[in-house]
C-alpha cells in the first residue's frame, strides 16, 4: 500500500491529515545591478512565516511584473537557513515559474510546528530594467507531521 492509498483511506474514515491550506504571498523589488540575496516580505512587512502547526510546502509560484529583456533573477525558499526550493526567471523565458514539490516523488518539504520559512530574491545577471517580484508559497496545514 502506497502513501496516497493510506491517505485516502484515512480521509474516508474522518481523520484527514490535511486540516487546511494556506498561501503565503511575498514580494520584493530589485534593481538592475547584480547583487546578493535580499529578503522578500508579505503585505504586513514580515519576512518570516512561523508555522503554527505542522505544514507541508508543496510549491512556489514566482512572477515578475515586467518583461526581462536581459539578465536573470533568482528566488530561493529557506527552512531554518537551508535552501529547500529555488528557481529563476531569465531573459527570453516566461515571466512566471511554478516550482513544484511533488508529494508522489517525496519532493514536498515537511515544516515542523514553530519552524521558520523565509524567501530571498537576487539579481544573478544584470537586468535591463528593475523588476518587482512576487512569490506565493503553497502550504498544507497538517493534523500531524507525516515525515520524520
In this predicted model, what pLDDT tens digit does every residue of 60-99 receive, in sequence order?
999 999 888 899 999 999 998 899 999 999 998 899 999 9
Q: 36, exposed or middle or buried, with CB in 10 Å at 0-12, 13-18, 19+?
A: exposed
CATH 3.40.1010.10 fits 19-142, yes or no: no
Q: What percent of the chain has pLDDT over 90?
A: 50
pLDDT of residue 3: 79
pLDDT of residue 103: 78
End-to-end CA distance of the chain, in Å? 19
120 vs 110, higher pLDDT? 120
pLDDT of residue 145: 66
Closest Cα partner for 119 from 35, 60, 33, 32?
60
Amino acid at each position: 500500500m502506497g502513501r496516497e492509498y493510506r491517505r485516502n483511506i484515512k480521509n474516508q474514515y474522518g481523520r484527514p491529515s490535511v486540516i487546511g491550506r494556506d498561501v503565503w504571498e511575498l514580494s520584493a523589488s530589485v534593481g538592475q545591478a547584480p547583487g546578493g540575496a535580499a529578503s522578500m516580505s508579505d503585505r504586513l512587512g514580515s519576512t518570516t512565516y512561523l508555522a503554527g502547526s505542522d505544514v507541508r510546502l508543496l510549491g512556489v509560484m514566482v512572477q515578475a511584473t515586467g518583461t526581462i529583456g536581459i539578465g536573470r533573477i533568482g528566488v530561493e525558499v529557506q527552512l531554518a537557513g537551508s535552501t529547500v526550493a529555488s528557481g529563476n526567471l531569465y531573459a527570453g523565458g516566461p515571466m512566471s515559474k511554478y516550482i513544484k514539490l511533488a508529494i508522489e516523488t517525496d519532493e514536498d518539504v515537511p515544516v515542523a510546528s514553530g519552524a521558520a520559512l523565509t524567501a530571498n530574491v537576487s539579481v544573478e545577471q544584470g537586468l535591463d530594467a528593475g523588476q518587482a517580484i512576487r512569490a506565493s508559497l503553497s502550504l498544507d496545514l497538517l493534523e500531524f507531521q507525516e515525515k520524520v
